[in-house]
Structure 1
């Protein structure tokens, strides 16, 4: 049985103070831990076998079945190393550790996973979404979600990009974080390495002449997306092999970065599935 610890009531409890600190990026980075808020994210993490230290819940609230089964039996876990302790607390503690005005009655203390950058280069037909200074947490989370949905190899977060472990980013991923590798790195180092290994590096531009539907995504490809206002930084733009445009037959000035990333990721998926089906027929 998973361990159920003693009830904690006071927000002045030292343990609670440590959890509250994880609402700030500097403490998350220092400790390698972060908070997952809400039933859906906690359940997704448990189902994916993500390393959780604690599941903290409102002692006066009823846990939904999708969480209760993990609390009552360790048979649900893929590894005994991933069995968290369960800690009942007061509603005041739940509220103190939440970034929302109407917090759900559960959160988890999770450990960050360090992804080896070699994984980015090891897959034969890798598909990687690269973010260069994408600042809106909702956009970052949506791109992670899209990458997971189309079976991408990874998402790379370059400098200046919103924190993956920000509560808004995590909510926007809808749990997709647990199903795709996410790497933080220096694009001025990673992109040249990718190119030296024969990986195509493509970006988007309203000034580009080449349609994304004419581009061949069948080989290993990294798709680079820039800041919402200024696009790709000069240093990163210089490392892009091809600039693509998403044709728009209707009336709109442009697509936002999350929409553009979704279109390109799924066009890559479409080509790969379509070509694979054709080759088999």
Structure 2
């Protein structure tokens, strides 16, 4: 018999709201919330284990959810009031899931022989992280590494702004020092997007193992990256300001690498 929750004041529903709002709760429980059928489908495809699936019967049926269930997944009906309390969006098909987090260690990354990696240092805004992950998915690169992370990868705003690409990319989180050591151990060229001692990005050869490193718009990259860089690169700009959104810069660099490899 399927469990049903009617009240937004239910203790389990309150715990889900805490998961949505507090990174500490996600970290301690090793779980997080996914909203929306498309995002849930991508998470399952990406190897994430769902512990609970909550659905609003006026919007979606149990039969529609059957392909997304495993013997480890608890199915719970929720009332319209509960769904409205939990859902951030009106267009998420009446379903949410609780999933187990994954390891985000560098050692778990599986790379090709000539990888393309994007490193984002200290990116804080969930919207920027989400946009970076969408770009990484579109370019089909090997991995994204978030160095010196300032935001929780499983923040609902990251999942939402990435339109589920948090589940389609290989992602690791580590300190800047650990990331540099990892890249050098694997003989991956490091191209740092920075103003200092730079050459135009399109003059370099990215057909060999390549890591692009981007920093925040406010402070740029820290000194260890500049010291470790194979070459500093810059995107020439003709306007008044001297910086662009980090996700836009990442897009330009990644697709230049893809262009070079497509026409090699």
When the two structures are superposed, what TM-score results if normalisation uses the length of structure 2? Answer: 0.88
Partner of 2:32: 34
Structure 2 counterparts to residues 215-254 of structure 1, below 5 A: 215-248=204-237, 253-254=242-243
Deviations 1:211-237 (A, max 9, x none): 111111111111111122111123333
Of 197, 201, 211, the residue aligned with 2:190 is 201
Deviates more, 1:249-258 or 1:157-166: 249-258
Contact 2:124–2:150, Cα closer than 8 Å, also in 1: yes
Q: CA RMSD in A?
A: 2.5
CA 1:115 to 1:165, structure 2 compared with 1: closer, same or farther past 3 Å?
closer
CA 1:101 to 1:115, structure 2 compared with 1: closer, same or farther past 3 Å?
closer
| d(CA) in 2 for partners of 1:196, 1:48 | 27
| 1:238 positional shift | 2.6
| 1:271 positional shift | 1.2
5+ long unaligned stretches in structure 2: none
| d(CA) in 2 for partners of 1:221, 1:47 | 27
| 1:251 positional shift | 6.5
Of 143, 148, 171, the residue aligned with 1:154 is 143
Contact 1:121–1:194, Cα closer than 8 Å, also in 2: no
5+ long unaligned stretches in structure 1: 276-281
| 1:250 positional shift | 6.3
Partner of 1:12: 9
Asked whether 1:22 is paired with 2:19, we answer: yes
Contact 1:53–1:109, Cα closer than 8 Å, also in 2: yes
| 1:138 positional shift | 0.8
| d(CA) in 1 for partners of 2:132, 2:8 | 35
Report the secondary structure of 2:3's partner residue.
coil
Contact 2:145–2:171, Cα closer than 8 Å, also in 1: yes
Deviates more, 1:116-125 or 1:176-185: 116-125
Contact 1:94–1:103, Cα closer than 8 Å, also in 2: no
| 1:16 positional shift | 1.7
Of 158, 161, 165, the residue aligned with 1:169 is 158
CA 1:119 to 1:160, structure 2 compared with 1: closer, same or farther past 3 Å?
closer
Report the secondary structure of 2:258's partner residue.
helix
| 1:119 positional shift | 4.3
Deviates more, 1:244-253 or 1:21-30: 244-253
Partner of 2:177: 188
